[in-house]
Structure 1
């Protein structure tokens, strides 16, 4: 790689790191492009436009960079699961949650969970998050877990998996906040990670109550809306 290319990649990396940290700490609406440039040590005021096109392009670059590592780890877990004759719910939840959790818990400087939590809560970037987070390995794992939940009504399976993942993101965001405030868990990291999987598995494994089933039976959901949610 030529020196100019190396400097360009270094500049991009610094802006990605700076933007991720600032957004994780304060939220998308409270961070300006100028603050990102200052934090990244970038003097060129047009650097974000030059490297990423738009602010949304920068956010997407953060997501794509971090999720590439997560996707590789999930591929490894899926390869192991594929050799099992009948993987349990927990094993499939591990493939969904563990690669993301390892990235957050394993890096003492991680702010990835807080960044993703902020983005998931912002309607403007929701589609960017969905497009970046739900890469091929995520979709494969997600779909296999949904198909595995035969004990739940079809219309609730995807919602359960979404709830499990969102709960994991929120829990990991809290983990990062407590760690940075020197209030980290006294439990070993392995226990924290395993318990997080237990919680997510419990969310998807819990049978629907009689009340929920009765309400669902009385609720007439238009097919178009149902198909849209199941997408």
Structure 2
């Protein structure tokens, strides 16, 4: 479950000017939310907060049963982040590494055995349709293939929450819909999914509850 109550957040370099104001919402485990709103509304900031890249200035935030605040020990935050996957709109792949090694990175950071890593990575790449691309440099992939690689890396450690920031922004329609189908399948399997997007066609294709941000305020929440 994700639960925020009266959460405020601001950038360190902009003391006195909050970016997210009085954010309150709850998403049950296995829920799905579109995160909508104009550019600059605070969508990326909210995703960074949920991914524990930032911490709330005030208010209460509970992620997967764990209370999160500025006083939460770093070790506890690291353990909690292992239960969250993040898909960025610019892929964030390491182009000097192969597809396999990019996807394996989260498991290697967890110091998992290499035979276990190999099994998990191959299974995930097969699921996203890239089983034949394991040894290819990530820089040689198309945009859609790079985004599916980024998704595979985000889910290879089997997180309970998936966050995605404009994941279809640079994709053609057919590629965007294919990626959306993968998110839908993850959600069907019980993963909580939050996708920030400007793409109204995606929202129409898969009508689900939404969070709508405007100027850092949550102006609308569609529940389940």
TM score, norm. by length of structure 2: 0.28
**Structure with more helix by fraction:** 1
Query: Of the two structures, which has the highest relative contact order with CA contacts closer than 8 Å and spacing of 6 or more?
Result: 2
